[in-house]
Amino acid sequence: MTKNRIISFVILITGLFSCANNQAPKKQLIGKWTMTKVYDGEKDITNKMNPKNNRWIKFNRNGSFESDGDPHGYNDGNWELDPEKLILFLDSKLEGDDSEWKIAFDGNTTIWTGIGTPRQERFKLIHKKIE
């Protein structure tokens, strides 16, 4: 191989691996997650925001999501994840219910931190993958 071909090959392989790595967080997110904890700042408000311990969200491969549980009930829409910044955007079909979250992965657990207003930024949601 000539020097130019080797360089081209290395660039191609590097590009393919970087694309695969960008998809990894999206693949991790796909599935059903149950909400285990909700915090407003340091205060645990899980009993208020998930009183029956039945809230969940499911991320589908086609970019749609659905969620359910008390006290908020059923919701659905579309989701997008920036794989580099780990910013999750939920585009809800419910009027005024769109949200944006900074996501951190820890095995089969995610930690969501609200983005937007100071009030939103105080909120943290902990989800555990169940499917």
Residues 103, 113: Cα–Cα separation, whole Å: 7
pLDDT > 70 fraction of the chain, expressed in percent and rounded: 82
More confident residue, 68 or 7: 68
Tally the domains of the chain.
1
**Residue 35's pLDDT band (boundaries 50, 70, 90)?**
very high
DSSP assignments along 65-116, one per residue: EEEE-TTT--EEEEEEEETTTTEEEEEESSTT--EEEEEEEETTEEEEEE-S
The 3-state DSSP class for residue 26 equals helix
More confident residue, 22 or 123: 123
pLDDT at 11 exceeding the cut of 70: no
pLDDT at 5 exceeding the cut of 90: no
Question: 77 is in which domain, residue-wise?
Answer: 3-129
CATH number at residue 66: 2.40.128.540
pLDDT > 90 fraction of the chain, expressed in percent and rounded: 75
Residues 41, 121: Cα–Cα separation, whole Å: 8
Residues 33, 48: Cα–Cα separation, whole Å: 19
**Residue 2's pLDDT band (boundaries 50, 70, 90)?**
low
Q: What is the pLDDT of residues 107-129, one digit of tens each?
A: 999 999 999 989 899 999 999 99
